[in-house]
Chains A and B, each alone.
Chain A
Amino acid sequence: MELVSGGAPRHRRAPLTPGRVLIHLVMIAASVACVVPLLLILAASITDEDVLANDGYRLIPRVVSFAAYQFILVLDPDQIVHSYGVSAFVTFVGSSCGLLVMAMLGYAISRRDFRYRNMLAFYVFFTMLFNGGLVPFYIVVTQYLHLNDSIGALILPYLVIPFFVLLLRTYFAALPRELIEAAKIDGASEWRTFFQVVVPLSTPSLATVGLFCLLLYWNDLWLSLLFIDSKALFSLQYLLWHTINAIQTIEAASQTSGFRPPLQTVRMAMAVFAIGPVLFAFLFVQKYFIRGITLGGLKG
């Protein structure tokens, strides 16, 4: 268990003092606070629309109804499935390419015998300090790179995140030099050394950064807000954002006409679809995230 401190472990069985009970109560309260907002969304998604409108959002639905899910899955699944696809594609391609690019970059910077190492380090890390602002970035991407309203705009800008390059560099630098020298003595080229010696040894840090990249791409709204206009390129987050904001006008119109499609519950159901994969992934990867943060991320 990596999180155990060095030195003698505490063997004493914890006595159940009031202080200890209080600590657990506080932690349970904090845990509940973390989970309740999501339960609210789940509860709202399986509530009957009229009951939701009249009685409000509750943690336990008064009248259960799966109409929202029916609406999405049966009547109009196209947009949400399509957006899922866009998000999945962007996330997968972006994370894998980004990880490769950043790993190679971080590795080059980590090699003390690389002649251009310091220059490269400054080149990469200066961008963490200073940028030209949003408008120049926007102008470059839309008018010079012609990426507006394209899938490239959703993938390319995040392929190199200097902070992750820093994490990778730190990890690569900690590998023993003898390994690389041994590979060289055996006649391996730099490429072979990297892919066949260094990478297999670095799976923890590569996994951590890879997971951070996955999270970054999957949850991103920013790039879509800036560059995306056409529905075919709506990511899942962007679709969700549009739904909760555009819904106002539809609601106002429906009140006059008397017809009430399951609007709020549909919104919440869409949110459940968005959280689902994240929750699923979380259960598997939270261990690696925590390990990665404690080992390498103490920089905060």
Chain B
Amino acid sequence: MGEVGSSIGRSVSPRPLRAQAPSRARERRADLLLAVGEIRHELEKNGALMLMALPGVILLLLFAYLPMPGIILAFKDYNFSKGLLGSDWVGLQNFMFLFGSGAAWRLIRNTLVLNSLFIVTTLIVSLALALLLHEIYDHFVTRIYQSILFFPHFISFVIVGYFTFGFLNADNGFLNSILAARGLPTIDWYATPAYWPAILTSVNLWRSAGYFTIIYLAGILGILPEYYEAARIDGANRWQEAWYITLAMIRPLIIINVLLAIGRIFFANFDLVFNVTRDNGLLFTTTDVIDTYVYRSLRTLGNYNLATAAGAFQATVGFLLVLLSNALVRRIDQDQALF
């Protein structure tokens, strides 16, 4: 830009007009072209990136955002022919039905109890397995154990339903044939609600422990060996090492995982519950969770109102919990938070 001033100074020199004008005009044109080029470049970049994001944006719009206003259906008496907008407002009536009939409390209790059991047992077992795996020096063997533990995660819950049937079938299930062989009375598993929190927790453990073992083991392997060496010099034994170093160092990882799980505590694992209980009404007192109730009300009973009320309740409370838990996770380790 300094050249403009110097070329103004030089404009009075006896140069032919055509030769001197281009330098100043050329500079300005060059600047203009650069600016236009930059704008075009920005447009191209932003446009292209926006275009790349567009399919995902549209899909989310259709399947995630379009249904969101539908939450107001919980306050309406849905009539198929009148549609979403035309149905009548009924205020809190659906919620009163839901809570008044006692159904809501049973659902909330079951969802919270089952998920809490899942979180606690999965944490304890996967931590224990990770600690044990850490003690094995042969990495090839560790890899094999990890793979086997992780394999259940690949099995669909429908198949899970098949082998739980094989175990629990009253007539010829594995458990009952063992009981019968010992002369003990057989149990009609699929008709006794009391056993089911334990059964569902065991199945969930079978399926999820391996996944979290991998996560915790990865965290443990990130601990510097110097800590262990220092501890050994100070005379610590294995147990003290495990408690004061291993567990202490992965404490943030544990807390984060637990918090994220608690954030989702109002959302049950539909596939697990539905397939293992086989939608058996006799077991609803201990196994009916919000998700199965909403599904059943919608698809089997056709009762949209109760389904929307339960769903809206779950979405709202769940939202607040996820926000809260994520805010807590952020305080611990910002990278691990969702946002």
Contacts and interface: CB of A to CB of B under 8 A. Distances in A.
A34 B148 contact: yes
B53 A290 contact: no
Interface stretch (A6-14, A71-79, A201-209): A6-14
Interface stretch (B31-39, B104-112, B221-229): B221-229
Interface in B281-339: 291, 294-295, 298-299, 304, 307-308, 311-312, 314-315, 319, 322-323, 336, 338-339
Interface stretch (B5-13, B193-201, B210-218): B210-218
Contacts of A240: 158-159, 162
Interface residues of B, number: 115
A41 to B, nearest CB: 5
A37 B166 CA distance: 9
Contacts of A123: 57, 60
A241 B147 contact: no
Interface in B165-187: 165-167, 169, 171-174, 176-177, 180
Given A30-B149, A56-B172, A226-B299, A237 B158 contact: yes
B163 interface: yes
B132 interface: yes
Interface string A34-59: 11011011001000000011111111
Interface in A188-206: 189-191, 194
Nearest to A282: B154
Contact of B163 (A41, A162, A222): A41
A213 interface: no
A93 to B, nearest CB: 14
A233 interface: no
B132 A19 contact: no
A128 B68 CA distance: 12
A245 B56 contact: no
A12 B146 contact: no
A114 B45 contact: yes
Contacts of A144: 66
Contacts of B223: 5
Interface in B247-273: 253, 256-257, 260-261, 270-271
B90 to A, nearest CB: 15
Nearest to B165: A244
Contact of A57 (B65, B174, B311): B174
Contacts of B311: 132-136
B56 A131 contact: no
B52 interface: yes
B243 interface: no
B253 A298 contact: yes
B63 A156 contact: yes
A136 B55 contact: no
B243 to A, nearest CB: 16
A299 B139 contact: no
A256 to B, nearest CB: 16
B177 A3 contact: no
A298 B180 CA distance: 46
Majority DSSP secondary structure for residues of B touching A = helix
B79 interface: no
Given A54-B172, A124-B60, A226-B299, A104 B52 contact: yes
B224 A7 contact: yes
B59 A290 contact: no
Contacts of A124: 56, 60
B44 A190 contact: yes
B171 A23 contact: no
B53 A56 contact: no
A127 B164 CA distance: 34
A220 B50 CA distance: 31
A271 B314 contact: no
Given A219-B156, A278-B154, 13 more contacts: A5-B223, A10-B225, A34-B149, A56-B180, A104-B55, A129-B319, A131-B315, A140-B66, A189-B48, A237-B158, A241-B275, A245-B279, A271-B163
8 smallest beta-carbon distances between A and B, as pairs: A136-B70, A133-B311, A56-B177, A190-B48, A105-B56, A219-B156, A294-B218, A56-B172
28 contacts: A3-B139, A3-B221, A6-B222, A14-B136, A27-B129, A34-B149, A34-B151, A34-B152, A44-B166, A55-B172, A57-B172, A58-B174, A104-B53, A120-B53, A134-B291, A136-B67, A137-B67, A140-B67, A141-B63, A144-B66, A145-B62, A160-B63, A221-B275, A222-B270, A275-B159, A289-B150, A290-B146, A290-B150
